[in-house]
Amino acid sequence: MTNLVKNTKLVTLAALLAFGAASQASAASITFGGQIATDGSGVTSSRIDASNQITAATVSNGYFVETFDSATAYPIGAGGDTQYNIAGSSTGCQVNSPLGISPSALGVVGVRNDSVPNVAAAPAGDSTCYAYTTPETIGTDSFVDIDYSTFLTNIGSVETSLIGAKINYLGFYWGSVDTYNSFEFYSGSTLVASISGTALLAEFNGTSGNQTSPASNTYVNLDFSDSEAFDNFKVISSGIAGEFDNIVVGLKVPAPASLAFLGLGLLGLGLGKRFKK
């Protein structure tokens, strides 16, 4: 299993733009690599416990995980959604909070825990539930939109310490990367970053659609600046299929304005003492 974990690799801003990021200047950074998940789901973010379980400590640290398994449900938004389950292939599967999916058309997105040729393949080492998207028409892009805006609005009702939080980290396990897959990351309707399967495979010399190689089954980490205010992303595919699992969201609570002014005041005092003769 250890061969599933790639060494973390930092992609600079220039390289990020080469991955197809938005044309405007961006402070987002992308790294690759994670840790072996102990729940049998392959690879997960190294920023949470390897069990993928949402605990009080995980929440207080501002991290949430979507594994598409009922075991990781958390009471925010419309958790426990089984409408995307596949009959006979989704035992123990469901879409949990925090996650909002659109469009709701069945077939464009599914959740399952097996691999079926010409339908979907579980990410390498993943024997649990995962999500995938397939196009309504092969050769034409279809997408699933994963929107955290409602989650951000509601988070304060269950964890008061996170009131006003913004997403500054997103991680996900991208399975059997294909040249016709891509991910786009947005702040509202503004594109702030994107990754194409073609570019990722070229970066690691991977083979399109390979279901076992770590060069084609990669954990992706994105860190966003405060100004980017990331809140939703699209998984896009024009072929069979775009598979993903173990979405991890990290939150940052903005410092209260009063503390910011206090900091500036203390800085001014320090400078006054420094230059006083």
pLDDT (mean) for 33-49? 96
Tell me the C-alpha to C-alpha distance, in Å, between residue 254 and each of 66, 133, 165, 222, 251.
Answer: 24, 34, 6, 19, 10
**Residue 241 preceded by cis peptide, ω within 30:** yes
Separation of alpha carbons 135 and 141, rounded Å: 6
pLDDT reading at 16 higher than 60: no
pLDDT reading at 128 higher than 60: yes
Separation of alpha carbons 34 and 239, rounded Å: 27
- Select the highest-mean-pLDDT range: 82-86, 176-180, 230-234: 176-180
Band the pLDDT of 256: cuts 50, 70, 90.
Answer: low
pLDDT reading at 130 higher than 50: yes
271 compared with 80, residue with greater pLDDT = 80
Percent of the chain with pLDDT strictly greater than 70:
76
Residue type for position 31: T
pLDDT at position 10 is 43
* H/E segment holding residue 246: strand 242-252
Domain locations along the chain:
2-275
pLDDT at position 152 is 87
Report whether 170 contacts 66 (CB < 8 A): no
